[in-house]
Amino acid sequence: MTVQRLTLSKPSAGIACTVELTGSKSESNRALILNALSKGKVVVENLSSAEDTAVLQKSLHTNAGSYAEQSDGSGLPVINIGPAGTAMRFLSAYFAVTGTETILTGSERMKQRPMSILVDALRELGAEVEYTEKEGFPPLRFHKGFQQKSRKITIRGNVSSQYITALLLVAASLPEGMELHIEGDLTSGPYVEMTLSMLKEAGIEYQWQGPSISILPQQFSSSVITIEPDWSAASYWYSIVALSDKAAIKLPRLKKNSLQGDSRISNIMKDFGVETIFTEKGIEICKESGDIKSNFFDLKDCPDLAQTVIVCCAASGHNATFTGLETLKIKETDRIKALQNELSKIGVNLIEENELYHLDCSGLHFPKSITIKTYEDHRMAMAFAPLALKVAQLGIEEPEVVGKSYPSFWEDLQKAGFFAG
């Protein structure tokens, strides 16, 4: 049964708990593509329990047609990945270069998320891809067979890094390999670095010189990729500690030298008075002081942390300026508008000025009860959940949306002493 609304209230005392986080969705989804391209030579352990990962795995591990939820009348299988943006980008590259004849579609919001940059690149490589509805957007039809036409591809760096990653993941499987030229500044660079590190772990060599990444055609090595817990999921616990009077939370198996760009949350939250202690078993985060030091945050390399950091600043009454948020408008929802709408409920304004976003907390107040809309966006639900430490009754609409990346989030909050009903 679908839960329409969940109400959170804060613990009566300080927070002290251990939280076992699911595997990284970002690492898991990359590893699944490598497993499929290598025909099982690359083994994946500690896979994420996120719905996005389950959808991608199901799409890859079934024969074309057996995962068809519908047909377009021509008999072609139609694979519906729902709201899973990573699956849409990664599967597009996989189906294109493996010559898998299918139609790939998603939710109504997914049909509004642009795909032309990736599709143009795949067509330039030699894939036959066409739009079945609106030009530039899913659904996509992939034709049987693939003959490489070009080795050199140019793609803008200030768009979603998932386009770049999708191409890099399949590069070694192309008859001629690929030379990918990144034009302009690279957004979400750590995600590209993660992709290349995982390719190397799977036996794929590459050269990255200046704006160009070159990967020759080569075979995968027999290898095991063990997925680290999700630093994106950890970010919500950092926010909880930052907004608490007293808290100490253990997050096992997180690494200091992580592949995940969102591990930067440990440095960001130093400015919020949160200390991170790295041990052989993982990390412990605890509250040290309450004074926020920074008033400018560049989140270009970690845009998935934006909602967490912005809401934490707002709830702390801390005016700040943010940049690097260009990709937020094409995510599960327009995250800028969603943040503006929901922050207004506590009297905070997020003001857009070209590529800068200013947080004005002069009107901050905490009503006894408010309800947060999630806009079918998992990160909206989890980024605003820590407000339960400031608002007596915090309602969250469509709470099950967290299943996209962190299915046990509400249960973990209850283990930490929050009341959810």
Quick one: 376 and 269 in the same domain? Answer: yes
Summarised one tens digit per residue, pLDDT across range 120-167 is 999 999 999 999 999 999 999 999 989 999 999 999 988 888 999 999
Quick one: 15 and 120 in the same domain? Answer: no
pLDDT in the model for residue 72: 56
pLDDT mean over 56-78: 67
Quick one: 238 and 196 in the same domain? Answer: no
Summarised one tens digit per residue, pLDDT across range 101-121 is 999 999 998 999 999 999 999
Quick one: 216 and 235 in the same domain? Answer: no
Asked if 328 contacts 359 with a C-beta cutoff of 8 angstroms, the reply is no
Neighbours of 277 (CB within 10 A): 11
Q: Phi/psi zone of residue 145: left (φ > 0), alpha (ψ -120 to 50 degrees), beta? A: left
Summarised one tens digit per residue, pLDDT across range 36-52 is 999 999 999 999 999 99
Range of the domain at 145: 25-226
- CA distance linking residue 357 with residue 10, whole number of Å: 30
Judge whether residue 65 has pLDDT over 50. Answer: no
pLDDT mean over 367-395: 96
Quick one: 263 and 411 in the same domain? Answer: yes
pLDDT in the model for residue 62: 61
Quick one: 257 and 173 in the same domain? Answer: no
Summarised one tens digit per residue, pLDDT across range 276-288 is 999 999 999 999 8
Query: 102-105 and 77-80: which strand pairing?
Result: parallel
Judge whether residue 98 has pLDDT over 80. Answer: yes
State the residue for tokens 């209230």: 9
Q: Which of 304, 334, 360, 377 is catalytic?
A: 304
Of 168, 197, 226, the domain-final residue:
226
pLDDT in the model for residue 74: 60
Summarised one tens digit per residue, pLDDT across range 219-228 is 999 999 999 9
Tell me the sheet residues that pair with 8: 394, 420
Of 226, 244, 265, the domain-final residue:
226
Of 191, 226, 261, the domain-final residue:
226
Q: pLDDT higher for 67 or 193?
A: 193
Asked if 107 contacts 139 with a C-beta cutoff of 8 angstroms, the reply is no
Task: Mark 341-352 as b/e (b = at least 16 C-beta within 10 Å).
Answer: ebbebbbbebee
Q: What pTM does this model have?
A: 0.87
pLDDT mean over 61-85: 68
Quick one: 355 and 221 in the same domain? Answer: no
Total number of domains in the chain: 2
Side by side, the strands of the sheet bearing 282-287 are 15-18, 247-252, 282-287, 274-279
377 is catalytic: no
Quick one: 273 and 203 in the same domain? Answer: no
Quick one: 248 and 166 in the same domain? Answer: no
pLDDT in the model for residue 73: 57
CATH code at position 373 = 3.65.10.10
Quick one: 239 and 220 in the same domain? Answer: no
Quick one: 66 and 202 in the same domain? Answer: yes
Quick one: 63 and 192 in the same domain? Answer: yes
Locate 276 and state its tokens.
């991170």
- DSSP 8-state code for residue 389: G
